[in-house]
A and B are shown apart, each in its own frame.
Chain A
Amino acid sequence: MTSPIDLEGGGTAAVTDGGPGAEKKKSEDPGLVGRSPGQLMWLRFRRDRTGVIAACVVGFYFLIALLAPVIAKLYGKNPYTVYADERPELFDSAGVPVQPNGGISAEFWFGLEPGNGYDVFTKLLYGIRTSLMISVAVTITVVLTGILLGVTAGYLGGKADYWISRVIDFLLAFPAQLFFIASMPVVVALFVHPRDETPTYVRVLALIIVQWFLGWMSLARILRGTTLALREREFIEAAKVSGAPPWRIIRKEILPNVVTPLLVQSTYLLPNFVTAEAGLSFLGVGIVEPTPDWGQMFSKASTELVMQNDITYMFFPGVSMIIFIVAFNLLGDSVRDAFDPKTAR
């Protein structure tokens, strides 16, 4: 259970116990070497084999997302070529690849997409790129909003706290998924005249805005709780007594101490944003063809043409996403354990 209390405990552990006794005993270093909480966390994390493997897998996904254009160039194809027009001999009359297993061959590593005949390998690469880009952007905006409102509410208390908390409660009552799909066209219409074609960057922007709007509350609530607990601690009092202005206290005393819950929560949030974004594109309100997108590949996979003729195609987006989400969740657990060894799973 990731209750705020656990995480508060995590925060304090990182603050006060510059070097917990148990840690010292375990590490081989005999001399008393001072270690920062960050170093301790890193040491604990490195010892967790599952966590390291998960981190490698996640890193691999981000790497291929970043390098998608390079890889595609080396591979010699791009996700926009309509092979159904360029190489009609590869497809039958329904648009299904003639070769077995979705047209997998030495030339097309992951086969061809039924219908338009895009190259699945590059399409998946670019799709992961689009999805991760959007999700990372959402995570960043959510983290910034969460810090701003959560820490403000927790530190100032009183009226500010009351109103921010009410807004959080209120927004949590929103049916999130429904709100996402419902508000997408409205947000798009803010930027584009309804009669014009919608450019891709507007859709991306709309996806980010919509997910951000209902995404920041859980993080803000947790940060509020952590800050509330920190505010009563002696070192904050000491800073106040010595005349530090509130801004300095927040920046120098509070922020470094909310890094733990922040990092842990972000690793849980990001995969949620990835699946939510993919879900929207699956429903046809997110990214649309021809821009490659992870979720939009699922929507292609659920067409009758694919379901009837070419099951192979479904596995590429499906399995790659399962691996990504499993790895990210395992990484999240490991990060939490590394920061906060006291919480038993």
Chain B
Amino acid sequence: MLRFLVRRALGAAVILFLLSIVTFLIFFGMPRDPALLICGKSCTPANLENIRHVLGLDQSIPEQYWLFLQNLVLGSNDYLQGPCPAPCFGYSFHTGEAVWDTLIDRLPTTVSLTIGGAVCFLIFGLGTGLLAAWRRGTLIDKAATATAMVVSSMQIYFLGPLALAILVYQMQLFDKPAYNEFTKDPVAWFGGLVIPWVILSTIFAAQYTRMARSAMIEQLQEDHVRTARAKGMSRRYVFFRYAWRGSLIPIVTIFGIDMGSLLGGAIITEYTFGLPGLGRLAVDAVSFSDLPLLLGVMLFSAAMILLFNIVVDAAYAFIDPRVRLS
């Protein structure tokens, strides 16, 4: 197990390293003059000169990248804004804060959104999917399948504003969604995030409903399931102990991918509800052409995706003893 984890972690580190090169090339190598892009439309020559100097843009691209890596691993004291300890992504040009601090600052919002959303969509989605498989062919099954089909074709950028308009602005049942720290005020934390959770989860839930239903139906046709039924085990026992376990593999796979990408920033959800998470940070960074910040969010987000890929692979071994990790 440990060997597997170490090997996968090394593999992920290599991918992350390559990804950092590509991202760096895209952001600093491709534009003719990144400083001009960062500086924006109202740019003074003095500002431009300062940016060039701070980023080391007067040097060649490999040298710049080397500098970036050096700062990332060792930290740097050369920044005008102050010292920058070990995972140093530099300083944001727009806010003047250290990129790493900003990322850590925004992380709790994204984590809260992801965990709450995941709990909701697992309960709704898998619940409906299991119900549909259990009552296969009945009206319940058809209704669940049709609803899942339509809901999975909806978009957060339609449902989100609609929910806001109806629940917040017109009926005034809820306050505007906002992020409150869980440790300070759990009730406000819950109240502020409940609409985003439900909206985020409806779209995901529909996918899980379809997946759980088809996986369960497939599993229920397996020989070992039929044998278990023939031996006289109750339908419920076979359903939950035999078929359910078998359908976990595809569900866990997709769940891992979803968690990874959500933790890297649920961009549209955060943007729609004005939640200050990583996704929102990325959108803001784009609108201010804040390249150091963008690079930081990109790498952070990719690291999340890779991390959850490893978690999923490790989880297979627990779900299915036939999978060997070495």
Measured CB to CB, the residues of A under 8 A from B are: 1, 170, 173-175, 177-179, 181-187, 189-190, 193-195, 271, 275, 278-279, 282-285, 295, 298-299, 301-302, 304, 306-308, 311, 314, 317-318, 321-322, 325-326, 329-330, 345
Contact = CB atoms under 8 A, between A and B. Distances in A.
B150 interface: yes
A209 B289 CA distance: 19
A182 B261 contact: no
Q: Which of A174, A184, A329 has the most CB of B within 10 A?
A: A174
20 contacts: A173-B305, A178-B265, A182-B294, A182-B298, A183-B26, A185-B37, A186-B30, A189-B37, A195-B41, A278-B155, A282-B271, A298-B155, A298-B157, A299-B157, A306-B161, A308-B169, A318-B158, A322-B153, A326-B153, A329-B149
B25 to A, nearest CB: 10
A177 B306 CA distance: 16
B323 interface: no
Given A186-B27, A186-B31, A283-B283, 14 more contacts: A170-B19, A178-B267, A181-B282, A183-B27, A186-B37, A189-B37, A194-B40, A278-B157, A284-B287, A285-B286, A307-B161, A311-B162, A322-B158, A326-B149
A175 B298 contact: yes
Nearest to A176: B261
Interface of B: 15, 18-19, 26-27, 30-33, 36-37, 39-41, 43, 149-150, 153-155, 157-158, 160-162, 164-166, 168-170, 214, 250, 261, 264-265, 267-268, 271-272, 279, 282-283, 285-287, 289, 294, 297-298, 301-302, 304-306, 309
Q: Which of A283, A301, A317 has the most CB of B within 10 A?
A: A283
Contacts, number: 143
B15 A170 contact: yes
Contacts of A299: 157
B161 A302 contact: yes
Contacts of A311: 162, 165-166, 170
Nearest to A193: B36
A269 B277 CA distance: 29
Contact of A173 (B19, B30, B31, B160): B19
B149 A301 contact: no
Contacts of B164: 302, 307
A173 B260 CA distance: 11
Q: Enumerate the 7 nearest inter-chain pairs by beta-carbon distance, A residue then B residue, closest first.
A: A318-B158, A302-B161, A325-B153, A307-B165, A175-B301, A282-B157, A326-B153
A279 B286 contact: no
Nearest to A175: B301
B289 A185 contact: yes
A317 B158 contact: yes
Contacts of B298: 175, 178-179, 182
A282 B259 CA distance: 23
A298 B165 CA distance: 13
Contact of A182 (B19, B150, B169, B282): B282
Contact of B161 (A183, A189, A285, A301): A301
Given A186-B27, A278-B157, A326 B162 contact: no
A194 B157 contact: no
B302 to A, nearest CB: 5
Contacts of A325: 153
A173 B283 contact: no
A285 B169 CA distance: 27
Given A173-B302, A175-B298, A175-B302, A306 B165 contact: yes
A313 B133 CA distance: 38
A114 B306 CA distance: 44
A311 B163 CA distance: 10
A326 B155 CA distance: 12
